[in-house]
Amino acid sequence: MEAAEGKPEILRKAEMLVLATMAGRDASHDAAHAFRVRDLALSLSEEEALPAASLEIVELAALLHDIGDYKYTKDLTEDTTIVEKFLEEEQLEESKKEKILCIIHHMGFKSEVAHAPFANSSLEFCVVQDADRLDAIGAIGIARCFTYGGSKNHTLYDPEIPPRQDLTKEKYMMKDEKQTTVNHFHEKLFKLKDLMKTKAGKRRAEKRHKFMEDFLAEFYEEWKGKA
């Protein structure tokens, strides 16, 4: 991805870091995902009238949020080592660095699945989290869901395997191999609309959520041979 003219050096370097560290991943959590979340976060920031001073925090957090994603680490734990080292090397002021790392540490769905949302969320946190969740729903979300399921060789759908109820953080992160790709809509994706935190995010989520509902209704009809 070509950096925009006049972009601060730290943002140019962050883009390059994303391209380098996320290369080789399946397309559900690749560099393109990080760039979409960045663009969504900046767009939401504009709608929510965030001050200019917040935009660097928002952009960096959005770009770097998935570099240490637990789904792609050896021990299934979040790892922000690369991000921390990058921010230190770029000599970003301590207050901004702490805000960026705080956003990354707390924005994931797994942190909210146990009904323990991050209480002290700033508007910067909210727009980045909403941006990430918007990219998980709608047409893009559907494409990403099936891409990830395919990369893990998950069963597409099995009516004999119901979606899991009362998920804990640990059970959600275990990614039970018996679960199907379609169950992910019920276990996570359909819940995201009501978890949006900004007004702008809520507005956009309505359309994307409806698109997923229509898609899955058609999917079930075709599965049963009725469409």
Q: Residue 208's domain is classified under what CATH number?
A: 1.10.3210.50
Amino acid identity, position 218 = E
Assigned domain for 115 exists: yes
58 vs 38: CA distance, rounded Å: 8
Answer yes or no: are the C-beta atoms of 180 and 161 closer than 8 Å.
yes
Q: Which residue bears the tokens 């767009």?
A: 43
pLDDT in tens, the chain (227 residues): 444 556 899 999 999 999 999 999 999 999 999 999 999 999 999 999 999 999 999 999 999 999 998 888 766 566 889 999 999 999 999 999 999 999 999 998 877 766 555 566 799 999 999 999 999 999 999 999 999 999 999 999 999 999 988 777 677 766 556 789 999 999 999 999 999 999 999 999 999 999 999 999 999 999 999 88
Assigned domain for 2 exists: no
Assigned domain for 95 exists: yes
Assigned domain for 82 exists: yes
25 vs 174: CA distance, rounded Å: 19
Assigned domain for 3 exists: no
> Can you give the residue range of the structural domain that contains 72?
9-223
**Based on the structure, what is the number of domains in the chain?**
1
Amino acid identity, position 177 = E
> Quick one: tokens of 176?
């039970």
72 vs 23: CA distance, rounded Å: 12
Assigned domain for 73 exists: yes
The pTM for the full model equals 0.91
Assigned domain for 4 exists: no
Assigned domain for 32 exists: yes
